[in-house]
Structure 1
Amino acid sequence: MPLILALVRELAEYEHLSHEVVATEEDFRESLFGERPVAEALLGYAGGEPAGFALFFHNFSTFLGRPGLYLEDLYVRPGFRGSGLGVALLSRVAELARERGCGRLEWSVLKWNEPAIGFYESLGAVPMDGWTVYRITGEDLRSLAGRA
């Protein structure tokens, strides 16, 4: 869990979002290995050294009537970029999606992250134009839940 949290923090720093990381090792332990796991993680190593990770979870497409996988994070440490580790991690997630009968694999990328966009597009990924991601958190989430 310390390694996963460290990698998440490195990713957040790269994305200029360090202030948003409030997760703890216990949060990851529970979410990945608890009574009801809700996410999975792959760790990538190069020469025995931890070099990156992919974290993903199942979603569902009502249009396809099938599950999908959502890639929450894909991160390769700077010294290992260009080594093929990112392709290896993403390929393994895609392989898991196929093995599990998923209809799609999807993720979000920050609009300014041109290196990631170029990487994803080189693999055949396409942006979902016409869609906007919405999010509700914190007090607004509590308030909305209170209306149930």
Structure 2
Amino acid sequence: MSEFQVRRATVDDVEQVHALMRALAEHEGLAAYLAATPDSLRRALSAAPPRAVFLLAEIDGRAVGFVSWTRVYGIWRGGDYLNLDDLFVADGARGAGVGEALMRAFAAEASAEGLAGRWEVQTDNHGARRFYGRLGADQEEKVVVRWTAEAMRAGL
């Protein structure tokens, strides 16, 4: 496999980022639920400050993975942290250190701002949990609760 590089995505990368998001959704069997569009990504990346940050891993100029996050305030931390939304590496690039490079680049971004990172992983995703453990991340069991806008309106 060729060398890869990691760089921050720009508005010009929207189509590549969206293609990787689609691949992630298909990989997880959730393609029908992918709500992000190239236009919504373009708006998020062009906002000041950006609503989301994406780092792309590329091999020979072709995007093969990404990590994305938002900056949020947490009352349990008493300050901001980076909420990692997704980490994904395309099939052909797995096992080559791309995921680790993306996570280390995420850590460098967080560390540069003196921030911690937080994310979720399915409890039965043992491979991911081992991977995050090897990086030194702490893990705790939680239940993720989602309340859609439609469900909230219906409950009013």
Same topology, TM > 0.5: yes
Deviation at 1:33, TM superposition (A): 1.2
Aligned residues: 143
- 2:117 maps to 105
Question: What is aligned with 2:82?
Answer: 69
TM-score normalised according to structure 2 size? 0.83
Identify if the C-alpha distance between structure 1 residues 141 and 101 changes in structure 2 by more than 3 Å, giving closer, same or farther: farther
Q: CA deviation at 1:143?
A: 4.8
Q: What pairs up with 1:1-148 in 2 under 5 angstroms?
A: 1-35=14-48, 37-102=50-115, 104-129=116-141, 131-143=142-154
Query: Where do 4+ consecutive residues of structure 1 move more than 6 Å?
Result: none
Shift of 1:91: 0.7
TM-align CA RMSD: 1.8
C-alpha contact (below 8 Å) 1:31/1:39 kept by paired residues = yes
C-alpha spacing 1:87/1:17, structure 2 compared with 1 (3 Å): same
CA contact (8 A) 1:66 1:101 kept: no
Residue segments in structure 1 that go unaligned for 5+ positions in a row: none
Query: For residues 26-47 of structure 1, what are the alpha-carbon distances to aligned partners after superposition, in whole Å with 9 as ceiling and x for unaligned?
Result: 0000011135521111110123
Which structure has more relative contact order (CA 8 Å, sep 6+)? It is: 2
Which consecutive residues of structure 2, in runs of 5 or more, have no partner in the other structure? 1-13
1:59 positional shift:
1.5
Identical aligned pairs, as a percentage? 34
1:41 is paired with a residue whose SS is strand
